Chains A and B, each alone.
Chain A
């Protein structure tokens, strides 16, 4: 099965891997935004996760602890954001941008001396004979555990938001924090939890880049993945399963453009390289134009600070 020299089975398998970082970061950010908080510092939290995860994995020799370290690093940076925006009621967009710049700088400082080191390898989950099934084996049963984790966490977020009481409270806080407060829910605490979850997920996404996808540390390794994750949340109109579609679309085009180059396509390289971003912009324009439901679906209290005295 070949399409112009490109094997679609291998392509699907590798787009699943390529989109893990943005999937994790986007599903975290979705929860944060559902709670009414706009944290645009995803890029900063991802890169903190990338370096913290890398340091943890290299010093302990365990890739799993690396991911724990990455999640901790991302959550720690998001805690700074929570203190500033929830405690001191700072502007969320400005704080988020500052968080990104701070994260990039701090990670570069922490990463001194970690250039060119090999982290411990994460093996594919052993599925035994299952991975030998033609087509499906390669697509479904040839990945490392984080790929399955990213899909599982999306399912979990979907279930919690839709069916669990926790999800209902989270959405109430995001839609109308005054009403939620009047009902006796701790708006600040709920938002803090959401922000920490978002930070941890972004951190894991970053750790995936430095531990599995590259696997190496270098300054600015996330290369804008956090911004794509932000766009994908809007693209998904705050619905968990659409995050998966958005992530795979972006990951798919990124992988496809390189494969097209390698297979000797006649399309100029420059167009191929810009195509993933171009398509993200196009989709966002289409989503938010006209009377699409996307803009209506945004949490009503998104980006607004809350203080009980008001």
Chain B
């Protein structure tokens, strides 16, 4: 029995290697199902773009619903053994697993989304400046709220999410000084039942604009049950909920990056890097602002997005204080990337504590 297993394993390896010689194999690890309509859906669009760009020269593989943790390491090892040339791990929680497996397979390229660890030379990280999009929808939220309460369904207390909360709040407050923000920590990226419950609790607390940092469309489905509640598409356009409750969206467009990096593997120019692109390069897009938003608010949001894109405005520009009132950025000073990537505090005016 053992012999048969070994023999078949060897066969798989040989077959994998044989394929790898003429085709480049790009593999993707997803945290949710490709039909989530949000985060994973967008990464899968990137995979499809790679297939469209290179046709027969590329082979792709993906695995959905891979839990963050020990299982991820098993899946990654399996992928590396099956002849993948480049593996994209598309969630923050795969960070340690990615680096651990990368150390064992120096010939395979690894690309980890939203992380910061690059322990081996074959690990790159890539991220998008989601906070730029948050600034735009925060502006819309501040203008649109009638109860002056906006809600934020947060996933995990990591810098990316805290940037999102801060950027949304700063820009909502800028256009509406009375606004307050309620944060609910869901401790999941994808759990529609939990996300719906969180949205419901926020609505019961008088919140009328819901921003979500989780991956499913459930918060919008919950918002749709109550008239007057609006929300935003997260990660994907979520156009099924137009024109309301979904009044706009932050779209993650990974396709150009994936096509570029798979191409780099093909022509042998792949090198370790840390990529962090935003609205300017098209990696973060603002979805159509619907007619549920007044024209002047739409114009204001569009103008803000344009100023971020041309570099004339940065969402974290002083004067800004930390939550405890101590000074963070002086007037006109812009936060640097290192500070943002490690952000672990709320700005002044956000209530509650960040869970440890």
A residues with a Cβ closer than 8 A to B are: 5-7, 10-11, 14, 18, 113-116, 118, 121, 209, 213-216, 218-219, 221, 223, 254-255, 258-259, 261-264, 266, 268-270, 273
Give the complex CA separation of A114 and B37 in angstroms: 11
Contact, CB under 8 Å: B355 / A214: no
B147 at the interface (CB under 8 A from A): no
List chain B residues, Cβ under 8 A from A261.
184-185, 201
List chain A residues, Cβ under 8 A from B185.
261, 269
Given contacts A254-B197, A264-B351, A269-B355, contact A259 B217 (CB under 8 A): no
Which 9 interchain pairs have the tightest Cβ spacing?
A: A115-B35, A258-B201, A116-B37, A262-B205, A116-B35, A262-B201, A216-B192, A115-B33, A214-B192
B187 at the interface (CB under 8 A from A): yes
Contact, CB under 8 Å: B200 / A264: no
Min CB gap A138→B, angstroms: 11
Give the complex CA separation of A10 and B205 in angstroms: 9
Give the complex CA separation of A214 and B195 in angstroms: 8
Contact, CB under 8 Å: B184 / A258: yes
Given contacts A214-B218, A218-B190, contact A264 B182 (CB under 8 A): yes
Contacting residue for B33 out of A209, A218, A264, CB 8 A: A218
Contact, CB under 8 Å: A11 / B33: no
Contact, CB under 8 Å: A215 / B198: no
List chain A residues, Cβ under 8 A from B78.
none
The A-contacting residues of B in range 161-215, CB under 8 angstroms, are: 182, 184-185, 187, 190-194, 196-198, 200-202, 204-205, 207
Inter-chain pairs besides A6-B204, A113-B35, A254-B197, 17 sampled, C-beta below 8 Å: A11-B204, A18-B197, A115-B33, A115-B36, A214-B192, A214-B193, A214-B218, A214-B221, A216-B196, A216-B217, A216-B221, A218-B190, A258-B184, A261-B201, A262-B198, A262-B202, A262-B204
Contacting residue for B240 out of A6, A118, A264, CB 8 A: A118
Instruction: Please indicate which of the listed interface residues A10, A223, A262, A270 has the most CB atoms of chain B within 10 Å of its own CB.
Output: A262
List chain B residues, Cβ under 8 A from A269.
185, 187, 355
Min CB gap B240→A, angstroms: 6
List chain B residues, Cβ under 8 A from A270.
355
Give the complex CA separation of A218 and B207 in angstroms: 26
Give the complex CA separation of A223 and B201 in angstroms: 19
Min CB gap A16→B, angstroms: 13
B residues with a Cβ closer than 8 A to A are: 33-37, 41, 65, 151, 182, 184-185, 187, 190-194, 196-198, 200-202, 204-205, 207, 216-218, 221, 225, 240, 351-353, 355
Contact, CB under 8 Å: B204 / A14: yes
Min CB gap B192→A, angstroms: 5
Give the complex CA separation of A258 and B201 in angstroms: 6
Contact, CB under 8 Å: B65 / A219: yes
List chain A residues, Cβ under 8 A from B351.
264
Give the complex CA separation of A262 and B202 in angstroms: 6
Min CB gap A181→B, angstroms: 43
Closest B residue, CB atoms, query A218? B192
Give the complex CA separation of A121 and B226 in angstroms: 13
Min CB gap A214→B, angstroms: 5
Given contacts A115-B35, A116-B37, A262-B182, contact A221 B204 (CB under 8 A): no
Min CB gap B152→A, angstroms: 10
Min CB gap A2→B, angstroms: 10
Given contacts A5-B205, A11-B204, A269-B355, contact A118 B197 (CB under 8 A): no
Given contacts A113-B35, A115-B35, contact A273 B200 (CB under 8 A): no
List chain B residues, Cβ under 8 A from A262.
151, 182, 184, 198, 201-202, 204-205, 207
Contact, CB under 8 Å: A219 / B33: yes
List chain A residues, Cβ under 8 A from B353.
266
Give the complex CA separation of A277 and B35 in angstroms: 31
Closest B residue, CB atoms, query A263? B205
Give the complex CA separation of A269 and B187 in angstroms: 10
Contact, CB under 8 Å: B36 / A116: yes
Contacting residue for A221 out of B182, B192, B207, B352, CB 8 A: B192
Contact, CB under 8 Å: B192 / A264: no
Give the complex CA separation of A247 and B6 in angstroms: 53
Min CB gap B279→A, angstroms: 26
Give the complex CA separation of A255 and B194 in angstroms: 11
Min CB gap B351→A, angstroms: 5
Closest B residue, CB atoms, query A123? B225
Contact, CB under 8 Å: A223 / B355: no
Give the complex CA separation of A5 and B201 in angstroms: 12
